[in-house]
Amino acid sequence: MKAVLQKSFDKTLFLDNVKRHLTSTYATTVENATTRAWYLAMSRALAELTTFDLLETEQDERILNAKSVNYLSLEFLIGRLTGNNLLNMGVYESIGEAVAELGLDLSDLLEEERDPSLGNGGLGRLAACFMDSLAAQEFPAVGYGLHYEYGLFKQSFEACHQKEAPDAWCGIEGYPWEVARPELAQQIGFYGYVTTETVDGQEKRKWVPGMTVMGMPWDIPVVGYKSETVYPLRLWECRALAPFSLESFNNGNYFEAQHTLIDAGNITKVLYPNDNHEKGKTLRLMQQYFHSAASIRDILRRHESVGHPLAELPQYETIQLNDTHPAIAIPELMRIFIDERNMSWEEAWEICSRTFAYTNHTLLPEALETWDESLIQRLLPRHMEIIYEINHRFLQEVREKWPGDGDKQQKLSIIQDGFHRMVRMANLCVVGSYAVNGVAALHSALVKQDLFPEFHELYPNRLMNVTNGITPRRWLQYCNPGLSHLISEKIGDNWPVALDELAQLAQWADDDEFQQAFMAVKKENKARLAKWVKTNMDIELNTDAIFDVQIKRLHEYKRQHLNMLHILSLYYRLLNRPDFDMVPRVFIFAAKAAPGYYLAKEIIYAINKIAEKINSDDRVNDKLKVVFIPDYRVSMAEIIIPAADVSEQISTAGKEASGTGNMKMALNGALTIGTMDGANVEIREEVGDENIYIFGLEVEDVNRLKASGYNPFDYYNADPLLKASLDLLNGEEFTPGEPRKLRATYESLLDGGDPYLVLADFASYIEAHGQIDAQYRDTAGWAKKAILNTALVGKFSSDRSIRDYVNHIWKLKSVPR
Ligand code: 26W
C-alpha cells in the first residue's frame, strides 16, 4: 500500500486547479466566489485526481485478469464524500493548510456538501461501507446502483408532524464527485412480445421489446485508504433513447412525440422510500430490471473486453445480490446466454448458478418481495418464460429428493399458486445462487430454521452467515477525531486498517488518567451535538446528562414507542413520586417514517408532542429533555454517534436482522441497551455481560408467548407504572384540550394486540434503565465500560465482513497497486 498522494501532494498545483475550476467549471472569480463555489471547485479538483486513478485501476492488466466482485444494489447510502475522501487520500491536513492560504476554513467548505441520500437505511449504508472496505483492502470490485434524480425525501416537522420534501441531491450545479461515462451507455428494453425464429434449423425464442431506453452510467470514485486503488461506484441514469419519436415529430405531433422522453425520465426519477415494506408497483419493477440489465451488460462487456470466454465467467466475475431487489438479473443473464449467445439451457444454467450469490437482510414477511406474474409477463415477457423454466427444472429436482411430497413442492416453488399467481423473488435467488447469507449469526440461524428450512435440507452447504460490519474510517477516524487521536497516542495509527488492535486499549480501562481523557472526549462530542441542537432547534442541553440515543428508520418492530413509554414513566415518576431520583437524561431520536406508514408517522407525532411539553415543563426540566432531530441522514449520524452514552437497540427479538448503528455507537464508546436480537448478540459476546444492558424476551420466548395467545391487557392491568404511562399518553397532558389525540399509538398497543410485544418487554426494559442510572453515577465504573466497548468491538469492522465474503463466498485475491 502506498500513500503516493500524501508524498507527492503539490500545494501550488492543487490551488491552481481549484481556481481553474472556479472559473472554467463554475463561472465565478476568486473575488466573487461564495463558500459553496469554493467547495464545488475544491471537490472537482480532488475528484479529478481520483478519476486518473479510477481509469488506471480500470485498465490495470492484473485486475482485468483477476476475479472481481460486482456488488448489485438498488441503494448506496454513501453520505458526503469530500471529507472522507480527503482522509482516505491522506491529504486532510495538507488541504486544510492549502485552503487556509486562500483565507478559507476547510470545515466550512465541507459543510457545503449535501448528503447523497441514495438509500433508505441499513441496507444502503452497508453497501457503502462494503465499497469502502473493498477499496481499502484492494479486492477488485465494482458497485452497481441507480442514479436517482431525487434521493430519500427530506424530513421536516410541521406542528410536530413529519413533512416530506424532495431531495435534489445533485443540486443545480451537478455533483462534483461524479463523472459521466457516455461511452459505456447501454440500451434497455421493456414490454413487447416474444417470437420464435428458426436459425440454422433450430427454433429460437426472441424478445422484441416495445420500448427501449438508454442507461447512462455515472461513476463515483471509491477511494482506497491511503492507496492509489480507486474502484467505480457505477450509477445508471435512465434517459430517453432518442429525444422523441421522429415520425410523430414530423407528423406535427410534437407533444405526443415527447411521451417516450417523459416515460424514460421517470424510471430513475426517485428512490422508493419504503424500508422493509414492498408495494408491488410497476415503476419499481422497471427500476429493478433497468438496474440489473444495464449492470449485467456492463459486466459482460468488461469480461469479454479482455478476451475471456463466456464459459469462464465464474472464474473472473461474481455477482452479489444485495437482497432480492436485483433478482431479475438471474433470468436476464440466462436470456442473454440462451437467446443472444446461442447457449444451451444446461450450459447457461451451469455458468449462471456459479456466478450469483444472494444476501438476505430481513425476515419480516411484508418485506419479502413477490411480483404479480401478470406484471412480469407484461413488462418482461421473455423473463417470465425463463422463470417458468427455471422453476420447472427445479421442481423436478425437488420431486426426485422428496417423491410425492406436494407440500415440499409448494413451499419451495418459485411461483406461489393462488388466484393471483406471484413470483417469489427470494426463492428465485436461492435457486439461482451458489451462496446465500444472512447478516448476523442469529439472523442466519433463523434464515435456516424459519425462512428457508426446506432449501437448507435440499442444499445443506448453500446457506451461511456473514456478520455485518461498519467502516472504521468514516465511523471512528473521520467522525470522532478527538477519540481517534487519543487512541493513536496509545496504540499507534494502524487501527483504522486493523480494528482488532483496539483490544490493546483494554489495558488502560482502569487507568485513571486514560478514563478521564476518554470521558473528556465524550464530553466534547456531547458539547458539539448540544451546540448543533441549540443552533438548529433552540433547545438547551446539559452535557452532564446521559445522552440516550435511538437513531434508525421508524418502524414498529424497532420499537421507538417502547423508548417513548420509558420517557413517560420517568415523567410520571418525577411528577408523582417525591422520592424518585434520577441522573439527568437527554433522549435523542432521529428517524424518518415511510410516507405511507400511518402508525410510524403517528409515533413521530407523539414523541414530538411529548418533547414539546417536557422540554418546557419547569418541574422536570433539569432532569429530562427529549429531542427529535429532523432529517436523519449520514452527516447527522456523524455528529450524533460520537456523543452517545447509551445506544438503544430494542427491537423485538428475531426481527432486526443485524443492525449496524449498534456497532457504530459501541465503537464510539456508548453502552448498548438491547434485546437478544441481530448483532446485539455478538456485541455482547465481544464486550462481555457487564458492559452491555441486555433485557427482554428472547426469540423462543417471543414464539412461545405468541403461540399461547398474547394479551397486552394482562400486562397493562398488572403493572401500575405501565398503566400510568399509557394513560398519560392517552390523556390530554401533551395535547391540552384535545384528549386522546395520541391514541393511535395507544390503541395499537392495546386493542391492536401489540404485535411487537412492547408491553411484554416494558418491565424488563425499565429495570435495565434503572441499572444504567445507578451505574452512570459511578464515574470511573462507567468510563471503564465505555472504554471496553471501544476496545472490544474490532470484530465489527466491515474489513472483516469483506474478508469473510472473500474467503467463504467470493474467493478473490487482493491486487495491491
Ligand atoms: C422492497 C421494500 C424493502 C426495502 C428495503 C424491503 C426490504 C428492504 C431492506 C432489506 C431493509 C433493510 O435495510 N434491512 C436492514 O439491513 C441491514 C443491513 O444488513 C441490517 O443491519 C438491518 O437489521 C436490516 O433491517
Over the stretch 709-752, which tens digit does the pLDDT of each residue have?
999 999 999 999 999 999 999 999 999 999 999 999 999 999 99
Do residues 626 and 614 lie in contact, with contact meaning Cβ atoms separated by under 8 Å? yes
* Confidence (pLDDT) at 243: 59
What's the 142 CA to ligand 1 centre distance in angstroms?
A: 21
With a 6 Å cutoff on the Cβ, whether 656 touches ligand 1 is: yes
Q: State the pLDDT confidence band at 344, using cuts at 50, 70 and 90.
A: very high
Q: What is the mean pLDDT of residues 548-571?
A: 98
> Pocket of ligand 1, candidates 123, 446, 466: which has the most ligand atoms within 8 Å of its Cβ, to mutate?
123
What's the 648 CA to ligand 1 centre distance in angstroms?
A: 18
> Pocket of ligand 1, candidates 322, 323, 443: which has the most ligand atoms within 8 Å of its Cβ, to mutate?
323
* Confidence (pLDDT) at 262: 62
Extract long-range pairs of 382-385: CB within 8 Å, 24+ residues apart: 382/194, 382/205, 382/207, 382/335, 382/339, 383/289, 383/328, 383/331, 383/332, 383/335, 385/194, 385/205
What's the 121 CA to ligand 1 centre distance in angstroms?
A: 7
With a 6 Å cutoff on the Cβ, whether 677 touches ligand 1 is: no
Overall pTM > 0.95: yes
Identify the sign of the CA torsion 29, 34, 39, 40. Answer: negative
Compute φ and ψ for 94, nearest 5 degrees.
-65, -35
* Confidence (pLDDT) at 278: 86
Catalytic residues: 361, 552-553, 558, 660, 664
Q: Write the residue with the smallest CA distance to atom 10 of ligand 1.
A: 361
Over the stretch 51-66, which tens digit does the pLDDT of each residue have?
999 999 999 999 999 9
Over the stretch 646-661, which tens digit does the pLDDT of each residue have?
999 999 999 999 999 9
* Confidence (pLDDT) at 244: 53
* Confidence (pLDDT) at 265: 73
Domain 543-776 matching CATH 3.90.1150.10: the answer reads: no
pLDDT at 629 over 90: yes
Contacts of 681 (CB under 8 A, 6+ apart): 440, 441, 442
Looking at residue 38, its amino acid is W
Select the more confidently predicted residue: 278 or 628: 628
pLDDT at 462 over 90: yes
With a 6 Å cutoff on the Cβ, whether 733 touches ligand 1 is: no
Contacts of 745 (CB under 8 A, 6+ apart): 561, 564, 599, 602, 603, 606, 729
Beta bridge partners of 549: 588, 647
Which candidate, 364, 383, 325, 355, places its Cα nearest to that of 189? 383
What's the 740 CA to ligand 1 centre distance in angstroms?
A: 33
With a 6 Å cutoff on the Cβ, whether 439 touches ligand 1 is: yes
Contacts of 189 (CB under 8 A, 6+ apart): 207, 209, 210, 211, 212, 293
With a 6 Å cutoff on the Cβ, whether 84 touches ligand 1 is: no
CATH 3.40.50.2000 residue window(s) in the chain: 66-79+115-178+216-238+269-386+416-465+803-809, 543-776
Q: State the pLDDT confidence band at 259, using cuts at 50, 70 and 90.
A: low
Do residues 619 and 574 lie in contact, with contact meaning Cβ atoms separated by under 8 Å? yes
Identify the sign of the CA torsion 63, 65, 69, 75. Answer: positive
With a 6 Å cutoff on the Cβ, whether 678 touches ligand 1 is: yes
What's the 353 CA to ligand 1 centre distance in angstroms?
A: 24
Give the chain's mean pLDDT: 96
Over the stretch 495-523, which tens digit does the pLDDT of each residue have?
999 999 999 999 999 999 999 999 999 99
Over the stretch 174-202, which tens digit does the pLDDT of each residue have?
999 999 999 999 999 999 999 999 988 88
With a 6 Å cutoff on the Cβ, whether 75 touches ligand 1 is: no
> Pocket of ligand 1, candidates 73, 120, 274, 276: which has the most ligand atoms within 8 Å of its Cβ, to mutate?
276
Number of H helices, E strands in the chain: 36, 23
Q: What is the mean pLDDT of residues 632-642?
A: 98
How far apart are alpha carbons 256 and 264 in whole angstroms?
14
pLDDT at 250 over 90: no
* Confidence (pLDDT) at 486: 98
With a 6 Å cutoff on the Cβ, whether 361 touches ligand 1 is: yes
How far apart are alpha carbons 528 and 677 in whole angstroms?
31
Q: Write the residue with the smallest CA distance to atom 22 of ligand 1.
A: 659
With helix as H, strand as E and coil as C, how does 95-154 read? HHHHHHCCCCCHHHHHHCCCCCCECCCHHHHHHHHHHHHHHHCCCCEEEEEECCCECCCE
Q: 56 in helix, strand or coil?
A: helix
With a 6 Å cutoff on the Cβ, whether 634 touches ligand 1 is: no
Which atom in ligand 1 lies closest to the alpha carbon of residue 656?
23
Q: What is the mean pLDDT of residues 755-783?
A: 98
What's the 647 CA to ligand 1 centre distance in angstroms?
A: 20
With helix as H, strand as E and coil as C, how does 697-761 read? CCHHHHHHHHHCCCCHHHHHHHCHHHHHHHHHHHCCCCCCCCCCCCHHHHHHHCCCCCCCCHHHH
Q: State the pLDDT confidence band at 640, using cuts at 50, 70 and 90.
A: very high
Which atom in ligand 1 lies closest to the alpha carbon of residue 75?
5
How far apart are alpha carbons 786 and 769 in whole angstroms?
16
How far apart are alpha carbons 4 and 601 in whole angstroms?
50
What's the 362 CA to ligand 1 centre distance in angstroms?
A: 6
Q: What is the mean pLDDT of residues 217-235?
A: 97
Over the stretch 417-459, which tens digit does the pLDDT of each residue have?
999 999 999 999 999 999 999 999 999 999 999 999 999 999 9
Cell triple for 609: 408532542
pLDDT at 3 over 50: no
With a 6 Å cutoff on the Cβ, whether 659 touches ligand 1 is: yes
Q: State the pLDDT confidence band at 1, using cuts at 50, 70 and 90.
A: very low
Which atom in ligand 1 lies closest to the alpha carbon of residue 121?
13
Do residues 673 and 769 lie in contact, with contact meaning Cβ atoms separated by under 8 Å? yes
With a 6 Å cutoff on the Cβ, whether 73 touches ligand 1 is: no
What CATH class has 66-79+115-178+216-238+269-386+416-465+803-809? alpha beta
* Confidence (pLDDT) at 713: 98
Q: 630 in helix, strand or coil?
A: coil
Please state, as a whole number, how many other Cβ atoms lie within 10 Å of the Cβ of residue 527: 13
Radius of gyration, CA atoms only, the chain: 27
Q: 7 in helix, strand or coil?
A: helix
Q: 170-185 b/e with 16+ CB inside 10 Å = b?
A: beeeebbbbbeeeebb
Q: Which of 30-44, 146-160, 235-249, 405-419 has the lowest mean pLDDT?
A: 235-249
Over the stretch 8-28, which tens digit does the pLDDT of each residue have?
689 999 999 999 999 999 999
Q: Are strands 370-372 and 179-180 parallel, antiparallel or unpaired?
A: unpaired
How far apart are alpha carbons 474 and 470 in whole angstroms?
8
Do residues 106 and 100 lie in contact, with contact meaning Cβ atoms separated by under 8 Å? yes
What's the 122 CA to ligand 1 centre distance in angstroms?
A: 6
* Confidence (pLDDT) at 248: 65
Over the stretch 101-137, which tens digit does the pLDDT of each residue have?
999 999 999 999 999 999 999 999 999 999 999 999 9
Q: Are strands 193-199 and 202-208 parallel, antiparallel or unpaired?
A: antiparallel
With a 6 Å cutoff on the Cβ, whether 122 touches ligand 1 is: yes
